Amino acid sequence: MIELQIAHTADLDTAALGAARALLYDVFDDMTDPDWEHALGGVHALVWESGEVVGHASVIQRRLLHGGRALRAGYVEGVGVRADRRGRGHGAAMMQALERMIRRAYDLGALGAADAAGDFYAARGWQLWQGPTSALTPEGVVRTAEEDGYIYVLPGSAPLDLSGELTCDWRDGDCW
């Protein structure tokens, strides 16, 4: 039996969070502790199959600066499906649930996509950011050129110029 669970971090028990974390460390070779922490504090979408977590995604709130405004962004983190369960619609089901929340609660959605995932997000209506990316760090605004070409946005109520600058708020680990 397959179940999609939607829950805030605070409403997931230690076992569910541990299973989600283990899944992401299995899916991503370069997963770090800060990467996992970035996925916490918001709403998780978990796919359970026969009592095991086989898919995870979450959306957290971040501030992105664009066009002279601080925008409330639903930022998607930790999207992964166990290798032997891919191609069954689990990723689409998780994203559909999170995209509904993003459209109703945020100015826009945003995420940093892995190389192989860009087509998946684009097919869902996410748009590749064309302009320069930066981070608002303790030292000021710093360009994050290495992230250019990997940031996708889901347009919402805020006007966006996809060729303009997009700046994220500061956090430990990867800014984007």
The enclosing domain of 12 has a CATH number of: 3.40.630.30
Say what percent of the chain tops pLDDT 90: 98
* CA angle (116 as vertex; 144, 102 as ends), nearest 5: 70
Beta strands at 140-143 and 151-154: parallel, antiparallel or unpaired: unpaired
Q: Is residue 87 part of a domain?
A: yes
- What's the pLDDT band for 57 if we cut at 50, 70, 90? very high
The number of beta carbons lying within 10 Å of the beta carbon of residue 105 is 13
What is the reported pLDDT for 52? Answer: 97
Q: Is residue 83 part of a domain?
A: yes
Q: Is residue 173 part of a domain?
A: no
| Residue range 26-32: mean pLDDT, rounded | 95
| Residue range 8-35: mean pLDDT, rounded | 97
Burial class (CB in 10 A: 0-12, 13-18, 19+), 163: exposed
Domain count within the chain: 1
Which positions ≥6 away from 22 have C-beta within 8 Å?
53
Quick check: 1 pLDDT over 90? no
Q: Is residue 24 part of a domain?
A: yes
What is the reported pLDDT for 116? Answer: 85
What is the reported pLDDT for 56? Answer: 98
Q: Is residue 176 part of a domain?
A: no
What is the number of alpha carbons within 13 Å of residue 6 lying toward its C-beta?
10
Q: Is residue 140 part of a domain?
A: yes
Rounded Cα distance, 7 and 29, in Å: 26
Q: Each residue of 111-146: pLDDT tens digit? A: 999 888 999 999 999 999 999 999 999 999 999 999
Q: Is residue 105 part of a domain?
A: yes
Domain with 120, as residue range(s), is 2-168
Q: Which residues of 12-28 are buried (b: 16+ CB within 10 A; e: fewer)?
A: beeebbebbbebbbebe
Centroid of chain to Cα 79:
7
Q: Is residue 36 part of a domain?
A: yes
What is the reported pLDDT for 20? Answer: 98
